Chain A
């Protein structure tokens, strides 16, 4: 019983820590983009204020499915948190976690999709149909990379993949398979919906896509979900390609570097059209990923 309480306490601690870290990262990203555009930009702690304000505001709902979608989205993402090793914090090192995380992230996006389309606003449906199309675009190269890594290290648990890169930083996957790390980086930008691939939340075209009807606490919950998703995707990247870390601080520092690079990279590009985005993902990243996978298999 004690172990259960310890585990629940640990689980809550991780959830709150990840939300805080995720919001901090979003604040840093806004600062970086502002600096690139030669302006000051909001203070780093701005996302915390946004979330506090949003939970203070009134909100409208369009019925049960609208609420259920928001809760399922956040719930799905918190569940995924359980299976990702964040530096030394590892709640459950079970087999098959890599594939599981891809599908659990799908739970979150399906929940959000269902909730927002339930609002009856066509702009939300257009946004969701774009998001799903783009997901198909970037998920394919990513899974080929995972296929190659699992086959190479003969384990499908992230913990195992991380251990495989232990020792000096030379045998990090970043240096062992640089092309794969590059493809994973591009896919990371697509997965987080940053600039070149954010046609799904285009504010001017479709009224910020799926979140067109979510105000107040629904927007707050979506912001929290976004912050946890960012941390999960960054953690995945760091674990798979930068050899994870033994303590949480160096882990967060590595995540920060990847995040800053992704933001800079993202803030230079205009928005892709959806089918051009998918075509791009299937042309270069998929090609390189397949080449790398073949190189590993043969």
Chain B
């Protein structure tokens, strides 16, 4: 089923469908979690773009990391990421995931998210407002439609790079079989 021609056009249809309906699992790690309720409800209403909340990683396509990540939470985040099924995307919220933000010199937070998980996009701001979140997600939808959002493939390809970084911070990490 995945010879090149069929893969090409069929994959486009799937990418188109993927960008039209995204199930979002927002992993409320930091202070960004509180930005999502207003984005989902009446005033900003993210569901008009087909993005809705998912209850479990099994049903989710998009993982929102909203805020600073302590090393212990990173272990749970990696486990949840691996429970999600391809195609899956990661979006980092706020400066804490970009470069450590105001917790840059704290001993127990990680400084760059994309060392540990393939991040499609960062939304800057010391917690971005709902407009910024919507703008970011719309750009993400465009990336998915054009097929550029291939974070999950990058994760598969250089798996050991990511695993080393994770083990460097966490020590031994339990992998799903």
- A/B: CB atoms within 8 Å of each other: yes
Interface residues on B, range: 20 to 34
User: Which B-chain residue is minimally distant from A215 (CB atoms)?
Assistant: B58
State in angstroms the CA–CA spacing of A33 and B59 once bound together.
22
Interface residues on A, range: 20 to 34
Contact A60 B42 (CB under 8 A): no
Q: Assuming the A-B contacts A39-B42, A212-B58, are A56 and B17 also in contact, with contact meaning beta carbons closer than 8 angstroms in the complex? A: yes
The reply to whether B47 and A39 form a contact with Cβ atoms under 8 Å apart is yes
B48/A57 in contact, CB under 8 A: no
The answer to whether B20 and A53 have CB atoms under 8 Å apart is yes
Q: Which residues of B contact A208 (CB under 8 A)?
A: 55-56, 59
Residues of B within 8 A of A276 (CB): none
B18 touches A (CB below 8 Å): yes
By the criterion CB–CB under 8 Å, are B17 and A42 in contact?
A: no
Task: Tell me if B165 is interfacial: C-beta within 8 Å of chain A.
Answer: no
Contact A53:B41 (CB < 8 A) given known A34-B47, A42-B48, A58-B86: no
Nearest neighbor of B48 in chain A, beta-carbon distance: A40
- A46–B21 CB distance below 8 A: yes
Measured between beta carbons, the chain A residues less than 8 angstroms from B87 are 57
Q: How far is the CA of A59 from the CA of B86 in the complex (A)?
A: 8
**Chain B residues numbered 33-83 whose CB sits less than 8 Å from any CB in chain A:** 41-43, 45, 47-50, 52-53, 55-56, 58-59, 61
Closest A residue to B52 by beta carbon equals A42
Tell me whether A191 is interfacial, beta carbon within 8 Å.
Answer: no
Residue of A nearest to B86 (CB): A58
Smallest CB–CB gap between B162 and chain A, Å? 19
Chain A residue numbers with a CB within 8 Å of B49 are 42
Contact of B41 with A37 in the complex, beta carbons under 8 Å: yes
Q: Is the CB of A34 within 8 A of B45?
A: yes
Counting CB contacts under 8 A, is B85 at the interface?
yes
Contact in complex: B50, A41 (CB < 8 Å): no
Cβ of B124 within 8 Å of any chain A Cβ, yes or no, is no
Query: In the assembly, what is the distance between CA of A38 and CA of B47, in Å?
Result: 12
A207–B57 Cα distance when bound, in Å, is 10
Given contacts A40-B45, A214-B58, 11 further A-B contacts (CB under 8 A): A34-B45, A34-B47, A39-B43, A42-B52, A46-B20, A53-B14, A53-B18, A53-B21, A56-B13, A203-B53, A213-B58
Please name 25 pairs of A and B residues whose Cβ atoms are closer than 8 Å in the assembled complex, sorted by A: A37-B41, A40-B45, A40-B48, A41-B47, A42-B50, A46-B20, A46-B50, A49-B17, A52-B14, A53-B14, A53-B20, A53-B61, A56-B13, A56-B17, A57-B86, A58-B85, A59-B85, A60-B85, A203-B55, A204-B55, A208-B56, A213-B58, A215-B59, A216-B85, A219-B59
6 cross-chain pairs, A with B, having the tightest CB-CB distances, nearest first: A208-B55, A39-B45, A56-B14, A215-B58, A203-B55, A40-B48
> Which residues of B are at the interface with A, using a C-beta cutoff of 8 A?
13-14, 17-18, 20-21, 41-43, 45, 47-50, 52-53, 55-56, 58-59, 61, 85-87
